[in-house]
Amino acid sequence: MPQLDDKFIEILFFPKKKNKVVNLSTKEEVMTFFQQNLPEVASLIFEEEAEAFLKKPIGTQLRTRCDRYHYGDIAKRI
């Protein structure tokens, strides 16, 4: 997800019992995971980011706030 400060945030969703990232423990495993599962993103990840990925907590829920979205020609307010 692009951010206003020219950075990107990545959010991965997995079923609770099939979480593919919970057992990753080395930066090499992180790099391999992205190469196999998200190859278009893998080329953008550096080793420092793979190390930082390992330090991020794994959340169990996400809260999203949306201002508005468009479907076809109709703008709807959430």
- Read off the pLDDT of each residue in 52-78 and give the average, rounded to a whole number: 65
Question: Per mean pLDDT, which of 14-18, 22-26, 29-33 is the most reliable?
Answer: 29-33
Query: How many whole angstroms separate alpha carbon 75 and alpha carbon 56?
Result: 36
C-alpha angle 66-45-58 in degrees, rounded to nearest 5: 55
pLDDT computed for residue 26 by the predictor:
93
How does 10-37 read in b/e, with b if 16+ C-beta sit within 10 Å?
Answer: eeeeeeeeeeebeebeebeebbebbeee
pLDDT band at 65 (very low <50, low <70, confident <90, very high): low
- 10 near 33, Cβ under 8 Å? no
pLDDT band at 28 (very low <50, low <70, confident <90, very high): very high
Averaged pLDDT of the chain: 76
